[in-house]
């Protein structure tokens, strides 16, 4: 039977060693165990970290780089209002498409043709090249996936005839910004008017909407990805001499975001190396007694194993991986 506790070991306002003393004894015993049998304490963390690090095999499936998910509130009122609009004003991209009814920006590819000689895009030569550019985009796959109105693909520009003829619009007969109940403010750019009529327009915009309200949504996304990949070569093959073409799609912003991510991540290896080198060298001393180089190496190694184990466990549990958490090793090494 244990005897009464020494009054010196009791906790009081004057005596705070009651916490420090048992902890000191505990760590003394742990240190004795590590010194007597070090290999389990070396191999077990390595094996555990290696097993948990296998969770990085799920990294391609767990990546979450969607701009809307990352930079907007999960339960934001704007998303609730958008869902309300979708329920009460559902779009019909297959039969009665209307860009004004879209609750989002839609699935589209946009081209902007700008004249290079300072004249007007509505003149004969630039307009002919606009028609050629439009024909290059209208492939068979686009005809299958395009948003339709009255059984035909929605016109990319009000000035382009939906019947496909090559007629040249007469600029003197065009009113701006509204012509025959059609708003031309988003169709023409750099417009100069005289008496409310178009005298010259330096740019013209073509917007090609695709269906996203049915099973064709994934096919539309693949078409846009192929468009981004091939449009530069198509424009080069057209050998356009009177217009300069720029392009943008509903996927461009997301593609740029993911592209920046893939470009920045390789640079992290350099910053990790510099941070680790600084952490180790800062503990280097000329005196063998004060030198803590091995302690610094073990600290860096333990931080790396902690990152590997923690991230791997989260990936095993199905937690999405966001690229911003790649900064976590800097915070851990800083501690």
Q: What is the pLDDT of residue 300?
A: 84
Q: Edge to edge, what strands does the sheet with 243-249 contain? A: 188-194, 197-210, 107-115, 243-249
Residues 160 and 206 in one domain: yes
Of 229, 249, 269, the position where a domain reaches its end is 249
The answer to whether residues 129 and 241 touch, using CB atoms and an 8 Å cutoff, is yes
Q: Is the pTM of this model over 0.85?
A: no
Cα 64–Cα 65–Cα 71 angle in degrees, nearest 5: 110
Residues 209 and 259 in one domain: no
Q: What is the pLDDT of residue 329?
A: 67
d(CA 145, CA 212): 9
Q: What is the pLDDT of residue 302?
A: 86
State phi, psi for 216 to the nearest 5 degrees. Answer: -80, 0
DSSP state of 199: E
The answer to whether residues 292 and 308 touch, using CB atoms and an 8 Å cutoff, is no
d(CA 305, CA 53): 9
Residues facing 205 on adjacent strands: 112
Residues 287 and 334 in one domain: yes
- Quote the radius of gyration of the chain (alpha carbons, Å): 33
Residues 79 and 56 in one domain: yes
Residues 75 and 132 in one domain: no
Q: What is the pLDDT of residue 3?
A: 54
Residue 206 belongs to a domain: yes
* Burial class of residue 158, CB neighbours in 10 A (0-12, 13-18, 19+): middle
Sign, Cα dihedral of 266, 267, 272, 277: positive
Per-10-residue mean pLDDT, the chain, length 335: 55 69 87 88 89 88 78 83 87 83 87 89 88 89 87 86 54 79 86 86 92 83 91 90 91 80 72 82 82 85 86 89 72 60
DSSP for 17-83? Answer: HHHHHHHHHHHHHHHHHHHHS-HHHHHHHHHHHHHHHGGGGGHHHHB---HHHHHS-TT-HHHHHHH
Whether residue 255 is preceded by a cis peptide bond, meaning omega within 30 degrees of 0, is no
Q: What is the pLDDT of residue 162?
A: 41
Residues 132 and 227 in one domain: yes
Tally DSSP H helices, then E strands, for the chain. 11, 8
Of 189, 217, 249, the position where a domain reaches its end is 249
Range of the domain at 48: 39-83+251-335
Residue 304 belongs to a domain: yes
Number of domains the chain is built from: 2
Residue 138: which of 148, 153, 159 has the closest Cα? Answer: 153
């Amino acid at each position: 039977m244990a005897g009464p506790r020494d009054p010196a070991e009791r906790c009081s306002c004057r005596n705070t060693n009651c916490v420090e003393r048992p902890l000191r004894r505990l760590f003394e015993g742990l240190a004795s165990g590590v010194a007597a049998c070090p290999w389990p304490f070396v191999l077990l963390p390595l094996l555990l970290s290696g097993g948990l690090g296998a969770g990085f095999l799920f990294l391609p499936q767990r990546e979450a780089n969607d701009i809307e998910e990352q930079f907007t509130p999960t339960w934001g009122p704007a998303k609730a209002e958008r869902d309300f609009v979708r329920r009460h004003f559902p779009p019909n991209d297959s039969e009665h498409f209307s860009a004004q009814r879209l609750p989002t920006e839609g699935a589209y590819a946009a081209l902007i043709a700008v004249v290079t000689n300072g004249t007007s895009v509505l003149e004969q030569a630039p307009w002919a090249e606009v028609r050629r550019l439009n024909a290059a985009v209208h492939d068979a796959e686009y005809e299958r996936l395009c948003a339709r109105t009255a059984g035909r693909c929605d016109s990319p520009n009000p000035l382009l005839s939906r019947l496909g003829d090559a007629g040249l619009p007469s600029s003197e007969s065009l009113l701006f910004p509204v012509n025959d109940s059609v708003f031309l403010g988003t169709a023409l750019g750099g417009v100069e008017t005289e008496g409310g009529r178009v005298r010259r327009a330096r740019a013209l915009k073509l917007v090609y909407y695709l269906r996203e309200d049915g099973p064709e949504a994934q096919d539309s996304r693949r078409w846009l990805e192929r468009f981004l990949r091939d449009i530069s070569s198509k424009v080069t093959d057209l050998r356009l001499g009177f217009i300069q073409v720029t392009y943008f799609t509903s996927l461009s912003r997301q593609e740029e975001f993911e592209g920046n991510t893939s470009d920045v991540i390789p640079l992290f290896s350099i910053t990790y190396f510099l941070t680790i080198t600084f952490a180790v060298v800062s503990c280097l001393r000329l005196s063998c007694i004060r030198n803590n180089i091995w302690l610094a190496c073990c600290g860096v190694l333990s931080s790396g194993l902690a990152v590997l184990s923690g991230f791997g466990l989260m990936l095993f549990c199905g937690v999405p991986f966001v690229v911003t958490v790649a900064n976590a090793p800097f915070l851990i090494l800083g501690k």
